[in-house]
Amino acid sequence: MIPEKIAFLFVLTFFLIVFIQSGLDKVYDYKGNLSFLNTLLGGFFSSSLITLALVSVTILELTSGLLCLLGILDVVFNDSNLTGLIGLIVGSFALLVLLFGQRVSKNYDGAKTIAVYFILAVIGLSLA
């Protein structure tokens, strides 16, 4: 395997872990996450919009994590980057949604963390 493919596999594995864990946390602790987001963003957005955003981000994260897993298998067994590429695109969109919420709520430390994840996603996209 060439180094770019190995690096791509590491990026996919990273986002598989990040998005599956984060998505499952949102599923298993939906009420806690919703309460936290209403406290954080309630002054800026309506409760129904916050609920929609939580559900949307959860779906995006779980979809991205699953596509990253399938992308790993696709690279290893089919020598194809397409599934992983789509997984990183979906994940990048999820990160942008999360970044928007962090910036609106003026949680700049949280936004910095998301920016680091986004940079890694873009690197992964460039490796595909």
pLDDT at 44: 85
pLDDT at 14: 98
Q: Could you read off the pLDDT of 52-76 as tens digits, one per residue?
A: 999 999 999 999 999 999 999 999 9
pLDDT at 48: 94
- Whether the CB-CB separation of 22 and 61 falls below 8 Å is answered with yes
**Model confidence pTM above 0.85:** yes
DSSP for residue 42: T
Q: pLDDT category, 40, cuts 50, 70, 90? A: confident
Q: Report how far apart the first and last C-alpha atoms of the chain are (Å, whole number).
A: 14
Q: Which two tokens stand for residue 11?
A: 């990026």
Q: How far apart are CA 97 and CA 100, in angstroms?
A: 5
Q: Is residue 65 helix, strand or coil? A: helix
Pick from 38, 34, 18: nearest CA to 26 = 34
